[in-house]
Structure 1
Amino acid sequence: MRMLLADQDQSWKEEVVTKESWLQGPLKASCLYGQLPKLQDRDLTLYQSNAILRHLGRSLGLSGKDHREAALLDMVNDGVEDLRCKYVMLLYTNYEAGKEEYLKAIPGYLKPFEMLLSQNKGARAFIVGNQISFADYNLLDLLLIDQVLDPSCLDSLPLLSAYVSRLSARPKLKAFLASP
């Protein structure tokens, strides 16, 4: 969400919640699902990362040029979330014992995204269509996380590797990624 907002030159106010204030309870109790993130956009309050991401995509014209692209972007985003669930399970259940297996499986997990890139403008564009989308930001976030685990995880996936480089070089996104 932050990458999308920064790259699209949108301003936002971020309220950092400390563990102590969260555990005190009033904020948690006020959240619809008892969890963050929360987005307040004028009179609309949203919870759930992907609902927020899709809302921002629709609001900023980053949801595809037509129904076909919008459907493909939803598919890609759901695929990203399936993979993110595997990552989260690794982190919270079996990190030390499961990290090596997860890293070995990454190329297979990412192969569908490599294939989608290959089918879109010779892999010189975005994951779907010819403009960046909410799904591109979500996929980029996950790929950057995987590269933290293993900087060489994209070595066998040249299109995804080039995709990460290309998106990360967008001036506003590059500045955001370099910021604290």
Structure 2
Amino acid sequence: MDVIGTYFQPGGLGLFLPGRCEATRLLLADQGQEWTEDVVTREIWQKGDLKNSCVFGQLPRFQDGDFILHQSNAILRHLARNHKLYGQDAQEAALLDMVNDGVEDLRVKYGRLIYQNYEDGKAAYIEALPGELRPFENLLAQNNGGKAFIVGKQISFADYNLLDILHVHLVLAPDCLASFPFLAGYVQRLNARPLLKAYLESEAHKKRPINGNGKQ
């Protein structure tokens, strides 16, 4: 079966690439939420009905009752507001937006490597990776000596997004956090959260490909 994405409902989401909304899955799982997930094959997508129903002609798509939302970061922020995962004040919210944008910048670079230049660019990408990870290490160091979350004292939507991008890079370059003790400890702490741990150890998670072309 040629799978190009998934469409989740209700209170779910859809994505054009299998891993694009993993941060939202992490958030939902850790917050004890349930969702359903339907496979979208290339054949279904090419029929056009689903594509035409999407605001920008692409997945992800989030649906909760009559409410429909597109764009993965908009979905993530919507859930953050609903579950009080957007910081304790306006200043923290702004810092979380900053972090999330930083994660998105790294995700775009990762996507270009995976889908455009994997064979020729992997070595150079891994060599440059410490420079991409250093800002996150520094932010953690500034927050309770690296023993807390990326911003503030409570977990946020940006933590789920950062955790996801760190997960995929640990597959790409297993030693990438060797020189970043705060990030390494951060991943271990978040992975050990009971509901997150159960999700990460589930067969559904383990069987889901990281990227649509099989590269990782």
Q: Which has the larger displacement, 38-47 or 163-172?
A: 38-47
Task: Provide the aligned length of Structure 1 versus Structure 2.
Answer: 180
State the 1:83 CA deviation. Answer: 0.5
Unaligned 5+ segments in structure 2 are 1-23, 205-216
The residue type equivalent to 2:181 in the other structure is P
TM-score w.r.t. the length of structure 2 is 0.81
CA RMSD in angstroms, aligned pairs only: 0.8
Structure with greater helix share of residues: 1
Matched, 1:154 2:195: no
SS at match of 1:16: strand
**Structure number with higher strand proportion:** 2
Answer yes or no: is 1:96 the counterpart of 2:119. yes
Offset of residue 168 of structure 1: 0.6
Q: Take 1:62 and 1:16, find their aligned partners in 2: how far apart are those partners?
A: 28
Task: Report the alpha carbon displacement of residue 42 of structure 1 after superposing the two structures with TM.
Answer: 3.0
Residue 71 of structure 2, aligned match among 41, 48, 54: 48
The equivalent residue for 2:81 is: 58
Q: 1:109 aligns with which of 125, 129, 132?
A: 132
Question: 1:143-179, CA deviations, whole angstroms, 9 ceiling, x for partnerless residues?
Answer: 0000110111111111101101110111100111111
Instruction: Give the C-alpha shift of residue 28 in structure 1.
Output: 1.0
Q: CA deviation at 1:12?
A: 1.4
Point out where structure 1 has 5 or more consecutive residues left out of the alignment: none
- The answer to whether the aligner puts 1:82 opposite 2:133 as a matched pair is no
2:60 alignment partner, one of 37, 42, 50: 37
Equivalent residue letter for 1:130:
K
Task: Supply the AA of the counterpart residue of 2:191.
Answer: S
1:120-139 equivalence runs, <5 A: 120-139=143-162
How far apart, CA to CA, are the structure 1 residues paired with 2:135 and 2:163? 14
State percent identity of aligned pairs: 64
In structure 1, how many angstroms separate the alpha carbons of the residues matched to 2:64 and 2:144?
35
TM-score where L is the length of structure 1 = 0.97
